[in-house]
Chain A
Amino acid sequence: MSSPPWVAGMNLWTATRNRANSRADSRGEARLIDFRPVIFVNGILLIVLAAAMAVPAAVDWLYDDKDWQVFVMAGLVTLLAGLAMVLGARPEGRPELTTRQAFLLTTSAWVFMAAFGALPFTFSALKVSYTDSFFEAMSGLTTTGSTILAGLDTMPHGILLWRAILHWLGGIGIIVMAVAILPILRIGGMQLFKMESSDKTDKVKPRTSQVASGIVMVYVVLTILCGVLLWLAGMTPFEAVCHAMATLSTGGFSTSDASAGHWNSAWIHWILTIFMAIGGATFVLFISPWRRGRWAILTDSQIRWYLHFLIFFTIVLTLWQWAVNDWSPGDALTHSAFNVVSVVTTTGFASTDYSLWGGLPQVIFFYLTFIGGCTGSTSGGVKIFRWEVLFAMAGVHLKRLLHPHGVFVIDFNRQRISDAVVDSVLGFVVMYFLTFAVFALALTMTGMDFISSITGSATALSNVGPGLGDVIGPAGNFKPVPDLAKWLLSFEMMLGRLELFTVLVLFSRSFWRG
């Protein structure tokens, strides 16, 4: 009885690696990376994904839609792949990840999840190519919300629910990653948010699991709350569930082509606005009151900047809509608040086509794309914290011009920030804008026009969703974009979601050499 091919392959691989390692040891070189724990964890994640596919299957079955078979089939394929990876790469004892393995795991997990999350779209009766499906799944998992689907209002419920579930799972993934993994990997100044409990070695240990489970609880409770409120405000239960999931994860997939503009109710818009704003706030702070005995949200400087920022631009746009476009003050306030919060938190819902508002709103919405929410939230973008550091840095430069020999320090939340953090932030922001420019150029080379390329690159990198212009604006979708551009955009979404360096480090030679 021969073993299944994957097990045989794994054995072969293990043998090869052992040989290579012993060779490397004898020469005093570094060892190759052990892939087994990475594959093992990926397998477990795929099994979770397969389990999640059962939900839309059940819903479709209840609604008496043929599509349930699609999900069962996709679920089975995913389950098989997951089981194979788990069984083939089962490590001995408790898995402990090194820094390299953690980097590899974060990136590969998103690729695998998107690759298998795309299956239901491909298998379904929608006739979507695999490119489109992968784009849709990546857009879902990275909580971007750019879509290639049109005619959402008449689509089978299963598919709509699946898109929302992808958002929701991606949202959990990103929070857990921001709390547990990024600080330890020292990505873009995130070391500042290292848990007090986590140790300072290079080993990534599941010490933070307690905090993580607390955060997941908050996430679930808030989603349920949002869903119930939306239902009370007049959505059907199904729509309420889908929108609650897309809101808390700051994703932006809707169940209607007109997005939130489908509902002409100020109540619904304000509920969505508030929960989007919550989704863009630091989640750890929601559970800190129980831990430290004070309501940390009110004193956190990042949250303050975030709120001031939102309020400022809401007021500016409200005045513009009221003065220039002659809207009633109430409408202007509702829609300005909704769309500003939607773009800053990188959700991407639209309550109305704001690309028709005129020059100033277009310019503002373009810049807002880059801002992003707070660190440790489900939102993307550069993040408020980094802007704060940049502001402080410019201030320090200004002061140093007058007092060349003075010593100036940068504070964040009344704590001094070390030079290493400032350097990481600096490197991050530079890479962010470099990536933005490179991808914008690459997109123009696939034949897209100037505005679509620029805003498409920005919106993918920041995980917002809609761009500006006729094609990919709030009223359009990404269907007409060339296939190559879709792959580029998918990759860029992942880059932005994983805070660039997690992925970029895989391209450095020293990562593989050791």
Chain B
Amino acid sequence: MIDFRPVLQIIGWILCLLALSMTVPAAIDAMAGSGQWMAFIASAGITLVAGLGLVLGTRTDNRKPLSIRQAYLAAGLGWLVPCLFAALPFSLSSLDLSASDAFFEATSGITTTGSTVLSGLDTLAPGLLLWRGLLQWLGGIGIIVMALAVLPVLNIGGMQMFRVEVVSARERTAPRAARIGSTLISVYVGLTALLALALWAAGMGRFDAITHAMSTIATGGFSNYDRSMAHFDSATMDLIVFVGMILGGMPFLLFFTLAQGDWRRVLRDQQVHWYLGLMALGSIAITLWLIDVRHFQPLTALRHAAFTVASVMTGTGLVTLDYSDWAGMPVAILFFLTFVGGCAGSTAAGIKVFRFQLLFANAVVQIRQLLRPHAVMVPSFNNKPIPKDVLTSVMGFIFVYALAFATLSMMLAVLGLDFVTALSASASAISNVGPGLGDLIGPGGTFAPLPDLAKILLAGGMLFGRLEMFILLVVFVPSFWRD
């Protein structure tokens, strides 16, 4: 039998943290004089009581590290439970959101998806807007920590390629991991502050600058305005957010390498090459299309195309231009890029660039092998050979990804959604992008008109994608519960 106590203790601590962060929007609302602060204080109280209850109720004396099973449970519940509590402010506030809507919005925030059921954002109380930004920002930290510390150890979907190797024998592992962790979090905080300052300098209001910076670096996509970035209509701001999104989709471990002064290794990283290369290709194709078909000025076309491609590929979902009326090629490019996603160990979601690189390397080796059946050839990534079990992990991952995408879209279609909406909503949720395609849930619409069950399914899909599938799947294996 699994010992649940350490797991529940961790969740308790996370909830306490969440309760603490609820006081920030409460304070903002109280200062702005809107009556919403009551909702936040009430939610914070409930969350704190639950959190403290868990922490105190499960105190144990033994300080053993978590077993594999406990780690899975902690990772899975550590995302699910905060989503439930983070929904409280939405349902307690004067917005009168139904339970499923509030859960959808909170999950969309914490998983940094950015799909929303809210409209009329421009007149919303500042506390709620900040809360949406905060959720994404906290979710972003959670993902980076998980991608660095948890996933590689658990061997999820080929992430074992990114185990932080101990460079020299002099350094002990534990202090090093702690140092990496603290460096990354300060990089994250620093980048957010930098972005916010830049946006403020470019002319955004202070409040807008902070929430948009949080939403950008977490590749989330919640904006304070219904028209998203198009509200500001400023090329400078678009450029700042564009850079921020690209940074958010980079492997954060590289920032640590960079902090150590090893910039050559950063330049040589193949994953970053592919990531930027794909993004450039997509941007160029769409730019040309915009110039040719929509008769945009070249610079305007480049601005919107590059922003949209970066936004979709990193799974952010901020919009400078309503692309729902685009047809043909750009739609296909955006649809496929949804699946590609950012780099491993970033706040972006999707299948991740490195998995495609591993599989592509393997497929190329297969072609060569056809001609020389007896030669021994090993595919490599970043000049390191790819171990056999990593390839099966990656393929297993992608297969489950595709299966989840197909199953979710079929379930959505059963609920009455049309072909494009079902397909793109499913892709957008599992890849944590945000807006889908089509009239209903495209960049101009919201998810509010969908049936309640569809919203809950989509929220489940977001968690599933954010947790890299297998953390949730493992729990359903019977032998997980047996010894």
CB-based nearest B residue for A320 = B414
Tell whether B262 is near chain A: CB-to-CB under 8 Å: no
Q: Is the CB of B477 within 8 A of A399?
A: yes
Q: Is the CB of A401 within 8 A of B392?
A: no
Q: Is the CB of A451 within 8 A of B420?
A: yes
Tell whether A62 is near chain B: CB-to-CB under 8 Å: no
- Kindly identify, within residues 344 to 397 of chain B, every residue whose CB is under 8 Å from any CB belonging to chain A: 359-360, 362-363, 365-371, 373, 388-389, 391-393, 395-397
Chain A 383-424, CB-CB to B under 8 Å as 1, else 0, gives 000000011011111111110100000000000000100111
Q: Is the CB of A445 within 8 A of B155?
A: no
Tell whether B416 is near chain A: CB-to-CB under 8 Å: yes
Contact A449-B327, Cβ < 8 Å, known A396-B392, A402-B479, A508-B367:
yes
Tell whether B187 is near chain A: CB-to-CB under 8 Å: no
* Bound Cα distance A366, B420 (Å): 11
* Bound Cα distance A422, B86 (Å): 44
CB neighbours (8 Å) of B328 from chain A are 444, 447-450, 453
* Bound Cα distance A430, B362 (Å): 9
CB neighbours (8 Å) of A428 from chain B are 366
Q: Is the CB of A394 within 8 A of B329?
A: no
CB neighbours (8 Å) of B456 from chain A are none
Chain B 418-450, CB-CB to A under 8 Å as 1, else 0, gives 111111000000000000000000000000000
Q: Is the CB of A402 within 8 A of B68?
A: yes
CB-based nearest A residue for B423 = A363
CB neighbours (8 Å) of A508 from chain B are 367-368, 371
CB neighbours (8 Å) of A232 from chain B are none
CB neighbours (8 Å) of A51 from chain B are none
Q: How many A-B residue pairs have CB under 8 A?
A: 154
Q: Is the CB of A397 within 8 A of B397?
A: yes
Chain B 42-79, CB-CB to A under 8 Å as 1, else 0, gives 00000000000000000000000000110010000000
Tell whether A364 is near chain B: CB-to-CB under 8 Å: yes
Tell whether B291 is near chain A: CB-to-CB under 8 Å: no
Tell whether A504 is near chain B: CB-to-CB under 8 Å: yes
Contact A427-B362, Cβ < 8 Å, known A402-B477, A441-B332:
yes
Q: Is the CB of B392 within 8 A of A393?
A: yes
Q: Is the CB of A401 within 8 A of B360?
A: no
Q: Is the CB of A186 within 8 A of B370?
A: yes
Q: Is the CB of B400 within 8 A of A501?
A: no
Cross-interface CB contact of A441 among B336, B371, B410, cutoff 8 Å: B336
* Bound Cα distance A501, B406 (Å): 26
Query: Whole-angstrom distance from the CB of B113 to the nearest CB of chain A?
Result: 21
Interface size class of B (residues with CB under 8 A): 35 or more
Contact A419-B388, Cβ < 8 Å, known A360-B410, A430-B360:
yes
Tell whether A181 is near chain B: CB-to-CB under 8 Å: no
Tell whether A510 is near chain B: CB-to-CB under 8 Å: yes
Contact A99-B371, Cβ < 8 Å, known A398-B477, A449-B328:
yes
Tell whether B19 is near chain A: CB-to-CB under 8 Å: no
Tell whether A180 is near chain B: CB-to-CB under 8 Å: no
Cross-interface CB contact of A364 among B332, B392, B410, B474, cutoff 8 Å: B410
Cross-interface CB contact of A367 among B365, B406, B470, cutoff 8 Å: B406
Chain A 237-249, CB-CB to B under 8 Å as 1, else 0, gives 0000000000000
Query: Whole-angstrom distance from the CB of A326 to the nearest CB of chain B?
Result: 15
Contact A427-B363, Cβ < 8 Å, known A363-B423, A398-B396:
yes
* Bound Cα distance A508, B263 (Å): 35
Tell whether A437 is near chain B: CB-to-CB under 8 Å: yes
Query: Whole-angstrom distance from the CB of B320 to the nearest CB of chain A?
Result: 21
CB-based nearest B residue for A511 = B371
Q: Is the CB of B391 within 8 A of A426?
A: yes
Tell whether B36 is near chain A: CB-to-CB under 8 Å: no
Tell whether A31 is near chain B: CB-to-CB under 8 Å: no
Q: Is the CB of A441 within 8 A of B155?
A: no
Tell whether A461 is near chain B: CB-to-CB under 8 Å: no
Tell whether A8 is near chain B: CB-to-CB under 8 Å: no
* Bound Cα distance A390, B327 (Å): 34
Tell whether A211 is near chain B: CB-to-CB under 8 Å: no
Q: Is the CB of A505 within 8 A of B422?
A: no
CB neighbours (8 Å) of A103 from chain B are 370
Q: Is the CB of A363 within 8 A of B370?
A: no
Contact A437-B336, Cβ < 8 Å, known A360-B410, A422-B392:
yes
CB neighbours (8 Å) of B197 from chain A are none
Tell whether A212 is near chain B: CB-to-CB under 8 Å: no
CB neighbours (8 Å) of B479 from chain A are 399, 402
Q: Which residues of B contact A (CB under 8 A)?
A: 68-69, 72, 154-157, 327-329, 331-333, 335-336, 359-360, 362-363, 365-371, 373, 388-389, 391-393, 395-397, 399-400, 403, 406, 409-410, 413-414, 416-423, 470, 473-474, 477, 479-480
**CB-defined A-B contacts under 8 Å, sample of 21:** A202-B373, A362-B413, A362-B419, A363-B409, A363-B423, A364-B413, A393-B395, A393-B396, A394-B400, A397-B470, A399-B479, A401-B155, A402-B68, A422-B392, A426-B359, A427-B365, A430-B363, A431-B366, A449-B328, A450-B331, A453-B328
